[in-house]
Structure 1
Amino acid sequence: MFFFFVGGVEQQVRQVLKSGAGRCIRCGSRADLGEYEKVLKLFFIAVWKWRGKEPLMRCNNCNLFFPPSFSLPPPTNSSPPRTAVPNVLRCQFYSREVDPYPPQNRIEKLGQRHKTLQKVKSVQNTPL
């Protein structure tokens, strides 16, 4: 006889204490300060709930829970943008600038491969 057990513990917001109190450490969007509770679920049904020890920040975008001490300062309308680099040229996971051009030696290797392929194609197309 097999018994298949599906369950787990997750965190849920119980009450929002302050909306927009900071920014997320993962994605940089708005985060709310709130009380949370842990929920034990079996077969996707909440079985037991208990309160968290201290308030946490919760990101509105990626639903990450993190301590308020880790939070970035809340966004203000008068503050300048983080950097002059647009978000298109920024890594979404690490917020680092991305070099839009590959290194020079990689370009040279691609050019050599292209020339080699052209030679092979020209040899294949010549009649015997």
Structure 2
Amino acid sequence: MTIQFNHTVVHAVDRAESARFFTDLFGLPDAVPFGPFLAVHLANDCSIDFAQAGGEVAPQHYAFLVSEEEFDHLHGRIQELGLTHWADPRQQGVNQINHNDGGRGVYFCDPSGHFLEAITVPYGGWPQR
């Protein structure tokens, strides 16, 4: 099968603020204007396209698989900014990380209330090779 995920649109209260928040925390290049969107490009030819919401934003969940080094950067920025974060999706383990599947993970919210997750090992662990 050759199907690949290409992009998703994330509605934001302030698309520029949300895009800056995301690129800063994840250590990514600045967002690029693309029509009505601010596109943040990820390593696997995928993008997150921030769109200005015309009203209230319904919070969504977005999870990202990151390297150990990227996790260090991300968690460091979360701590520097004093952002509340959690070890699990039930928002328990306040200001802690988890060590699920032999990796590390953290949950936190973006400026629009979306629930973001970063993990260093996929759920269930790495496939046997």
Which band: TM-score by shorter chain? Answer: under 0.3
- TM-score normalised by the chain length of structure 1: 0.24
Give the number of the structure whose residues are more often strand, by fraction. 1
Larger of the two Rg values belongs to structure = 1
Q: Which has the higher contact order (CA 8 A, sep 6+)?
A: 2
- TM-score normalised by the chain length of structure 2: 0.24
